[in-house]
Structure 1
Amino acid sequence: MSMLDTTAHILKLMVTLKGGIRISDVIAHLGMPKSTASRVMNQLVSYGYIEKDDAKGVFLPGPLMVAVSQLINRQAPLSDLVDNALRSLCEQTGYTGYISMLDSQEILVLRVIHGRQTLPIVTWPGSRSPAWGTSTGRALLARLSDTELQAFFHSPTVAAQLNGGSHQIDKLVAAVNRTRKEGFASAINESVADTASVSCAIGDPTTHEAVAFCLSFPQTLAQPQELQRIAALLKETALLIAEKTGDTLVSHQP
């Protein structure tokens, strides 16, 4: 096996194991003798492909790989990756696509991609709505830590929107937690009448950006089987984008 092949196999092993690897992983998965594995790993460290975390005893992507990743991110920003993927989904399904971001306690619509199916109401770019009342909002709220989520729901703006109802907050937090578990959020006849939507969120750890993308369609089509089909398409798309951005919040979801 050439050094190039060996390097590729070791980097793929990091991707497969989703984190740092040890010499023992290289020996077990690639069938290398211990002396060869140690020599190869030391060479890759010297080239900058990997680096060793002495405290944890694992090897991680090195400065050269990080620099290449940052270059890729600059060439293919998150918004372009999501836009291209969502356009493909809109063409495939005929549904309308939205890209939105979390702006303080509200969801801000950034982009609309029209589908073949006619919607009763179209939400235009620049439109705002309470984040807790939309599928895109819940998809983005699911990315927050528990502390951040509690701060969001107890902010003066959200408290005023909910009229201080603690029971309602409990239900909304449960909905966000369900989104975390399932990897997507859905809404039927909520903030937009007679309309359903399914959403996922994706981020770029390098730029700290995060957006939600969704497919929206008439409520009459929102049967359980169709909701699951659309959710599967969106989750698969989110995972593909996460592989490019390094978004572990998506790639670690079931």
Structure 2
Amino acid sequence: MSALNTALSVLRCFSDARPELSFADIMAATGMPKSSTSRMLRALREAQLLEQDELTRRYRPGLLTFELGRLYRAHDDLIGRAEEQLKAVCARTGHTGYIAVLDGAEQMILRTVQGSNPLRVVNPAGQRTPAVATSNGRAMLARLSDGEIRKRVPVPFPTLARNAPQSFDELMQRIVEIRNSGRSLSENEAIEGVASQGFALCSSETGEMIGVAVSYSSQGTEAEERARVGEELAQMARTVGAIIGDAVWGKAPAVPS
């Protein structure tokens, strides 16, 4: 058993019903020898994953586990708030929406909200796409420093569709436009025949960032409808941004949903 698996087996002994455990409790629950249990508990204490009561000598989850749990709940809450608002946007417009995160040079879809329009493209959760070739991917990149963007973008620059940025300099030109407007546009880039608009949200408390986008047919969507999608997304960004203290969108008053 690896050290990580051993540590996890110890941490899984704790629950709402058993918030504190003795040395004997943990040894019995894990089936580990006394010496191995002692070494692992010492390591977990030093890492602040566990703490030990000075009087009872019983163990309980430590400060680091609490902090990690708080970050997880805050991130999940951010996604939940965004998904709730995105569902309303997609219901009103009929288009499909996405929530994604940055992972290196890629964006990964976390949630998909299907629209009602007959012509729609649905990318499943877990799908990865070069961030430089999507509207919400570029929106998230725009919230990073120029140096951080350069670290993430592969060298040589990836080969992308004709409408996507063809070089790092061209990417940065689009990044400047996004920073000025707060909104990112894509047209026939990641998928031929599909356009999208996106923006990024960032929690002031945790620094967690997500990208939100709505996609639609690049040929079958008129300018008036595109403008309506843009207004819907801006309203959503202001509403959620005000709640999470987003440095960009949180400055504007929230629009009631």
TM-score (normalised: structure 2): 0.63
Distance 2:248 2:237 in 1: 10
Aligned to 1:79: 79
Secondary structure of the 1:101 match is: strand
Q: Does the CA-based 8 Å contact 1:119-1:195 persist in structure 2?
A: no
Structure 1 vs Structure 2: percent identity of aligned residues?
29
CA gap 1:167/1:113 in 2 versus in 1, 3 angstroms: closer
Give the root-mean-square deviation of aligned CA atoms.
Answer: 2.7
Q: Structure 2: where are the runs of 5+ without partners? A: 1-69, 253-257
Structure with the greater alpha carbon radius of gyration: 2
- Greater helix fraction, Structure 1 or Structure 2: 1
Change (3 A) 1:147 1:252: farther
Q: State the secondary structure of the residue aligned to 1:161.
A: coil
Match of 1:218 in 2: 217
Counterpart in the other structure of 1:177: 176
Cα distance change on mapping 1:84 and 1:169 into 2, 3 Å: same
| Aligned mates of 1:75, 1:144 — CA distance in 2 | 18
Residue 161 of structure 1 pairs with residue 158 of structure 2: yes
Count of paired positions:
179
TM-score (norm 1): 0.64
Partner of 2:231: 232
**Aligned counterparts of 1:221 and 1:198: Cα–Cα separation in 2:** 15
User: Which runs of no fewer than 5 residues in structure 1 stay unpaired?
Assistant: 1-69
The alpha-carbon deviation at position 214 of structure 1 amounts to 1.1
Q: 1:182 to 1:221 in 2, by over 3 A?
A: farther
Amino acid across the alignment from 2:114: H
Give 1:12's aligned residue: none
8 Å contact 1:188–1:222 — kept in the other structure? no
Against the structure 1 CA distance between its residues 252 and 146, is the aligned structure 2 distance closer, same or farther, given a 3 Å change threshold?
farther
Q: CA deviation at 1:160?
A: 5.0
Quote the residue 2:126 is aligned against.
Answer: 126
Partner Cα separation in structure 2 for residue 184 and residue 160 of structure 1: 23
Offset of residue 249 of structure 1 = 2.5
